[in-house]
Structure 1
Amino acid sequence: MAPFPKLDSLGFPDWKKIGWHAGKKLRDVLNPPRDTGPTREERRAQRLRDNLKGFVYFDDFDEVHAWNPKDIDPIQVANTPLLERSAAQVYDQKGPTTFVLLCHDYTGGYHDYESVRAPLLEDKLYSCNHLQCVDTFVYFSHKLVCVPPPTWTNTMHRNGVKALGTFIIESEKLQIERMFEHNRGEFIIAQQLADIANAYGFDGWLLNIEAELPKAMEIIQLNRFIESLKLLLGPERSVAWYDALTVDNEVDYQNGLSVKNLPFALAADSLFTNYKWTEKKLDEARIVAERNGLDIAKIHFGVDLWAQNTNMPGPPRVTFPPKGGGGTNTGLALSVLADRGFSTAIFGPAWTHEHFSTSSANGPSIAEKVEGAVWKGLPLPDRLGCDCRKGRPHHTTEYQMNPIVKYAREFPVGTSSYFETDFQAAFERVASSEDQVRV
């Protein structure tokens, strides 16, 4: 009997060389996953219920096409204009600093406590208590189009922070080519996205395309789409491009700026890189940027707070520094980026409230204490109660010396003509029989 032929002789790729996304795609072809999610009718019913809470999002292109400004409920619209910040840093910051973008992604997004009709809450959930150190906030959810809830946009605007929505494509099932449908020479989706941002009062979009185009030639169309959206949004709003799809029409994270994502970075207002960068990647990005007239402050290198976890399923998540990066060591990445003149994109800042207990019955919760450690370098409790398996990965020797606030560009509060505060956090306790908390 002849020996069974090797896989590569049958046309299969070398499994050692195949990328995660390509491997997942091949796996899904050989063994298609079952679609156990809600039906389209169920999603539509949920979306209508969420609309009554002030939430607006769209699951497919048909819904985006069908959107009309006449459908808007006033409760869905942010009513606070963006506070114009002083360009100066606070007087006591020493050393180089980095502009910070926060990419939200808090357990899928669109929670009841973010609603304009927020319920009473038992615990303090994520609200970000350091907006003086944030330049841009991205509301992220795994919907095709994610509009920031007006509660978030209003909070950001009161603090001078831009609020962006997310346009994300993670599957070819969404018919990605529909991005390029035209009406009288204009991209229909680009026009709708621009009108949505204007109508709901937020400041632009993060474009996150993590699926290949049906035709490689449509890469040129994609660049035109970005340029069109940027033009339609106008100079007061912005477009950020996420480092996933390349000019080779492959989902191939560059973890920096390269010739493969340069055209998209130039067409947009900023680049949000993937998280596995190195100092060598910073050097390469600087060279590419300088050769092409791109301000390196417009390159936000990603930092994944979840990379410090040791209980994550699948391959370990990696961010800078490769060993122990993210989590309580996030400030270490900011120190390097600030020194090199680049900006930072912090992904999953609500890690503190997802990975740790938010119970606050007896004073500040573990989540609040961890957030204080990440941002301000405050001491961590000895017992964190998390399920990370290997030792105590969050109790590092570096974090107290390298908090985020040490390296994030901090802006003065208020302006010469505007200042308002009641000196309270985003949450407060209220007198009730259950001693609850409300937004």
Structure 2
Amino acid sequence: MPLRGTDHTEDVRSDAAYFKTLADLDGWATKPHAGLDGVLPYIARPLVGTDASSQNRGKLLVCHDYKGGYTETPSGLAYTFNFWSYCDTFIYFSHHRVTVPPAGWINAAHRQGVKMLGTLIFEHDAGQQDCLRVLVGHLPQSKTGPAAPSADSSFPLSPHYAKLLAELAHQRGFDGYLLNVEVPLIGRIEQARALAAWISVLESELKRRIGSHAETIWYDSVVVTGDLRWQDRLNNYNLPFFLPSSGFFTNYTWRPNYPSLTAQYFFSLDPALMTVPKTLQDIYVGIDVWGRGQHGGGGFGSYRSLAHIDPEFLGLSVAFFGPGWSWETEQDKPGFSWETWWAYERKLWIGPETEGEAVEVPPHNPRAGEPDCQHGEFTPVSAFFPRQAPPNPRELPFLTYFSPGIGYAWFVQGKKAYVTTAGWTDLDKTTTLGDLVWPRPSPQWIDSQEALPVPATSTSLCLTDAWLGGSSSTVSVQLHLRGQRVSAAWGRGRGSSHGGRGEEEEEVIPFSHPS
């Protein structure tokens, strides 16, 4: 196939946030660069549970696609992700050729034992040319015109860009790539074969440069004929791209029986084909939270799709795409604030704050030929995945100041060191919010000799007071002891508790301690 003979490499900085073309990546490689300071390493979480059901349970991959990416700013409040304990892998996604996750996002993920991937994407006409280039390697400058095709139509296979991409991931501290080829291949089946082989080279280079945990996830797009034909499941048309990859990410428009068909097809494969060992957990069935062609309607109807994927019993994993939906669909509504978004977001992920509260879900409109599935009431995303502990503190010290990565001030030892009315966002400051207290704590009496009622409790984030950071977690408890009603709230700072014998009205008095 003809290739352009002239190389238009931009003057790309060694610390460029992303790369628009592979030529730009070549420009980056010509400059001296060293590993970034302050990026936490990936450390695997401790294994929890030894029974077969826990080991064979599907995983959660979250694919971030928020307003094109790279929207993080320290001078305002923005979308953040705070449910790392249910997630195994996070993809930072944008429509640049090579998407490099920002250091703050990498640290937020690694702090809680989650892998962070970038994206290599080929789109539009320029994407077709670069998809050829990734196989051929670095093109020399030419004054005699474009390169001529070989007589036998075969494709060269250069490790050049596989090595550069692995070096980039190592230098910036992330753990691999989503491979998204959303263009028809100019070289048809011959290029498809070469591309499948190149994936194995990239996989090998990533593991050599980063470690055995490195991943390449193939997105269900182009097929072995070189056509762009989304399959919505694993089958013989996309199998050659899955085999050399770490995992497979299906398109979203699948029908309710496709997850079980995918599992059946996987188990029909000869294990000898698996040059990279695979399990059913390495197949991530896509869910578009925006609901575009998605069974169940997306958003608060995503539980319908999750039920068909069935990560607990069928064992398939889930790729949850576009969770920033919760912000982007609400931000222009009257009364919108970070606090109203947080209530909306946590309802999607962990359920309503009030037990028994009904959650409005979109209507279920089966497509032609689909059964009218009965899915029952809303179920939060977290109900489908186990909560996982962060890395062993012997390997990565554990610290939390209950920060979602935003705030209106910064506190040091309980005193404001910085204040801004516009607020700030910094994913690097994200820590766990306390997984066991959301959406509401579940207290129980210890060594109680009386059948006392369990106190009612609730949890909230406090953005106006903290011991360290920009926020604190407040747990409110209402006690009923021998005719005495006591209400207390634990958070950051100083306070007192109060009880009145025989009082019927409720009075909430803050009782606090340093977080």
Q: Does 2:170 match 1:198?
A: yes
Could you tell me how far apart the structure 2 residues matched to 1:329 and 1:379 are? 18
CA change 1:246–1:70 in 2 (3 A) is same
What is the SS of the residue equivalent to 2:243?
A: helix
Aligned pairs (5 A) from 1:29-428: 56-68=17-29, 70-72=31-33, 79-88=39-48, 98-113=58-73, 119-121=74-76, 123=77, 125-174=78-127, 175=129, 176-182=131-137, 186-216=158-188, 217-234=190-207, 235-292=212-269, 293=271, 294-307=278-291, 317-321=292-296, 325-337=297-309, 338=311, 339-357=313-331, 364-378=338-352, 394=362, 401-415=378-392, 417=394, 418-428=397-407
Q: Quick one: distance in 2 between partners of 1:112 and 1:72?
A: 23
CA shift digits 1:155-200 (9 cap, x unpaired):
1110100000000001232312111114797421111111111111
Query: Once the 2 structures are TM-superposed, how far is the Cα of residue 376 of structure 1 from its aligned partner?
Result: 1.2
Equivalent residue letter for 1:346: F
The C-alpha deviation readout for 1:276-296, integer Å capped at 9, x for no partner, is: 122321222112211223411
Equivalent pair of 1:98/1:343 in contact (CA under 8 Å): yes
264-273 or 402-411: which moved more? 402-411
Q: Aligned in 2, Cα 1:282/1:359: closer, same or farther, shift over 3 Å?
A: closer
Amino acid at match of 2:225: D
Overall identity of the aligned pairs, in %:
27
Q: Which structure carries more relative contact order (alpha carbon 8 Å, separation 6+)? A: 1
SS of alignment partner, residue 434 of structure 1: strand
User: Residues 233-281 of structure 1, C-alpha deviation per residue, up to 9 Å, x if partnerless?
Assistant: 1123110000000001111111010100111111101000000122321
The structure with more radius of gyration? 2
| SS of residue matched to 2:116 | strand
TM-score by length of 2: 0.64
Does structure 2 retain, via aligned residues, the 8 Å contact 1:230–1:238?
Answer: yes
Secondary structure at 2:134 match in 1: helix
Provide the rounded CA distance (Å) in 1 between the counterparts of 2:334 and 2:400.
24
User: Quick check: 2:288–2:320 contact (8 Å CA) kept in 1?
Assistant: yes
The answer to whether residue 407 in structure 2 is matched with residue 434 in structure 1 is: no
User: Post-superposition shift, 1:344?
Assistant: 0.2
Gaps of 5+ in 2: 1-6, 139-155, 272-277, 355-359, 365-373, 410-417, 427-515
User: CA RMSD for the aligned pairs?
Assistant: 3.3
Contact 1:358 1:366 in 2 (8 A): no
Distance in 1 of aligned mates of 2:125 and 2:386: 39
Structure 1 unaligned spans of 5+? 1-39, 114-118, 308-316, 381-391
Q: Distance in 1 between the 2:108 and 2:333 partners?
A: 24
Flag the structure with higher helix content: 1
* TM-score, L = length of structure 1: 0.74
CA distance in 2 between partners of 1:275 and 1:407 (Å): 18
**SS of structure 1 residue aligned to 2:290:** helix
Q: Is the strand fraction higher in 1 or 2? A: 2
| 2:57–2:281 CA contact under 8 A, matched in 1 | no
**CA–CA distance in 2 between the matches of 1:370 and 1:422?**
22
Kindly provide the CA deviation profile for residues 102-158 of structure 1, in whole angstroms up to 9, marking residues without a partner as x.
111110011142xxxxx231x3x2211110011000010000000101111111110
**How far did residue 204 of structure 1 move?**
0.3
Mapped partners of 1:138, 1:435: distance in 2: 28
Report the CA distance between 1:90 and its aligned residue.
Answer: 12
Against the structure 1 CA distance between its residues 413 and 302, is the aligned structure 2 distance closer, same or farther, given a 3 Å change threshold?
same
